[in-house]
Amino acid sequence: DKPHHEKLLIESRLERIDQIILVMANKGGVGKSTVSANLATGLAQRGYRVGVADADIHGPNQSRFFGFAGEHVRLSDQGLGTKNFTEDSLAHPVKVGSLAFLMESDDTPIVWRDAYKHDFMHHLVGSFDWGELDFLIVDMPPGTGNELITLADMLEGANVSALLATTPQDVALMDSLKAVRFCHERGLPMLGVVENMSGITCPHCSGEFHLFPRDHLVESLARAGIESLTQIPLALELASGSDLGTPVVVAHPQSPAAQAFTPVVDAC
């Protein structure tokens, strides 16, 4: 029957994936996709075999971050094809799987009830041809809703951990701590927090300033017992990164923005 077949398919895919990292944020627009793309590419730069599963159903942007906007994938005996991002510094391509590759057009809004979302989460892991991977990075939808619960259930028993992207702002942080609580309750190990958009360097005077005060963040993280792994600056390279289609760790590896991802890669 269908559920049994689906379960076997997911199990057979998971058997060939060593480690899964869920990149979470309880809010949209705080840089979850940016972190996912650069973490994946940073791991690939170290020689790992990496996949990026775009679970952000309403904003499947990984296709853009890796320069595959508007492209489609084929179905073969091995499953749905991934789009493979290659570059000289990578021993293995980063394999990208996204709903965007299955949609007729890039601007089609997804209007799905929960049952469809539930099914898609299964397809994302089970139907795409991930092959042998050291890491599967999952760009989660914002929030602790249906998609997260479905994935957490599906991945029970697998080697899964979570990474949290947040801005140092109070509202974003408060929301993010809900995700922390979810992980805690589900026994998902938390690798740490990535503080995004944490500071700006003035292009004229090179002075640095912080847009959001960090005090609350530091306090709240300490209380929750979570480590802040890094502070990613607000940077032009990152603002245009999604549009250029090359993650900043490859496009500008020496930039402060790219260097700020190193501790995140180290933590995995």
- Residue with Cβ nearer ligand ADP (136 or 238): 238
Residue 38 touches ligand ADP, criterion: CB under 6 A: no
Task: Give the binding-site size for ligand ADP (rule: CB under 6 A).
Answer: 18
Residue closer to ligand ADP, measured from CB, 34 or 230: 34
Chain centroid to CA 253: how far? 19
- 140 forms part of the interface with ligand ADP (CB under 6 A): no
Give the number of other Cβ atoms within 10 Å of residue 137's Cβ. Answer: 28
Interface with ligand ADP (CB under 6 A), residue from 11, 12, 16, 29: 29
Question: Do residues 65 and 37 make contact, with C-beta atoms less than 8 angstroms apart?
Answer: yes
Of 70-78, 85-93, 95-103, 238-246, the segment contacting ligand ADP by CB under 6 A is 238-246
- Does 226 contact ligand ADP by CB under 6 A? no
Under the binding rule (CB under 6 A), the answer on residue 34 touching ligand ADP is yes
- The residue (of 98 and 126) whose beta carbon lies closer to ligand ADP is 98
Min. distance of Cβ 196 from ligand ADP in angstroms? 5
Q: What separation in angstroms does the CA of 78 have from each of 147, 257, 259? A: 25, 37, 37
| String marking each residue 91-110 x if it binds ligand ADP according to CB under 6 A | --------------------
Candidates 235, 248, 258, 264: give the one binding ligand ADP (CB under 6 A).
Answer: 235
Task: Please report, as residue ranges, which positions from 56 to 85 form the binding site for ligand ADP (by CB under 6 A).
Answer: 61
Indicate which single residue of 17, 31, 53, 54 sits in contact with ligand ADP (rule: CB under 6 A).
31
| DSSP of 50-65 | EEEEE--TT---HHHH
Q: Which long-range contacts (CB under 8 A, 24 or more apart) does 175-178 make?
A: 175/25, 175/26, 175/27, 176/25, 176/26, 176/27, 177/26, 177/220, 177/224, 178/26, 178/144
Q: How many angstroms separate the CA atoms of 102 and 151, rounded?
A: 20
**131 Rama class: left (phi>0) / alpha (psi -120 to 50) / beta:** left
What is the C-alpha separation between 10 and 198, in angstroms, rounded? Answer: 38
Q: Is 196 in the site for ligand ADP (CB under 6 A)?
A: yes
The one-letter amino acid at 222: A
CB 193 within 8 A of CB 31: no
Nearest one of 8, 264, 255 to 127, comparing CA atoms = 8
Q: Of 21-29, 114-122, 215-223, 248-256, which part binds ligand ADP (CB under 6 A)? A: 21-29
Site membership for ligand ADP, residue 197 (CB under 6 A): yes
Q: Which is nearer to ligand ADP, 234 or 267 (CB)?
A: 234
Instruction: Write out the residues near ligand ADP by the rule CB under 6 A.
Output: 25, 28-34, 61, 196-197, 232, 234-235, 238-239, 241-242
